[in-house]
Structure 1
């Protein structure tokens, strides 16, 4: 079984906790993504999603220019390491119903990449198409724990 290092995307953009949610939303729009890792320096401290901006900020009446990423981001997030096996990370994704997982270094907890369900569905990932389809089904089914569950 392949490791995450063999399938992850190393070209990952992150935001700072001191950026505004407008800046984060603009980056998401430019990159056509729904989530961005939040880093201090290169150290991963959380994730912000389009849903965080919509539900936590907009629904609470927080303005995009004065609300900082740190106010609405999710801090305790699932992450993985580049030497983990793909099947292990896919199981974590199923268990907590998430489509992308930041990849961090074991020593410094610095962001080194991101792995998405699309990365795992790639034929070169070496995953069983049936297992990948099952992972997508499990991630998409209602009633999961969501993004806020940390990886032990």
Structure 2
């Protein structure tokens, strides 16, 4: 039987408000050894910010990030998955939308993130991506 999203997702995502600074997101990423934070206004998911978003939409466009907020750099086209959904179907949707991470939402509340790394570790933990994804981060 194919796994569900909740069986392979990363639980307890970091969720910050759109008004949070890019610096706060970067600190959370460093402290939790993750590459993304979800952007939510209350329980309303607004987007996702990745470490790449901070570089491409933040650093590359501004000399000073002190007043740069997550709403300035987040991907606002949010594709979500249900935790009880078949993981293969979610991965297909990720492929169709050319995204590396998908927010997992239950009853309107973010409960996890499914990444390509999570999928690789489930499907083939000995693959290059599976091994890289399971390795300790380089903080």
Match of 1:112 in 2: 111
- Does residue 63 (structure 1) correspond to residue 64 (structure 2)? The answer is yes
TM-score, length of structure 1 as denominator length: 0.72
Query: Using the alignment, how far apart are the partners of 2:102 and 2:42 within structure 1?
Result: 19
Q: Deviation string for 1:70-106 (max 9, x for gaps)? A: 111111122111121111011122223332211012x
Structure-2 separation of matches of 1:35 and 1:53: 10
Aligned partner of residue 119 in structure 1, secondary structure: helix
Name the TM-score, length of structure 2 as normaliser: 0.78
| CA distance in 1 between partners of 2:57 and 2:120 (Å) | 31
CA drift of 1:36 comes to 1.1
Q: Distance in 2 between matches of 1:5 and 1:57?
A: 32
Counterpart CA distance in 2 for 1:54 and 1:84 is 32
Residue 98 of structure 2: aligned partner = 97
Query: Higher strand fraction: Structure 1 or Structure 2?
Result: 2
Gaps in structure 2 of 5+ consecutive residues: 130-139
Give me the CA root mean square deviation: 2.3
> Quick one: distance in 2 between partners of 1:3 and 1:61?
41
Gaps in structure 1 of 5+ consecutive residues: 137-152
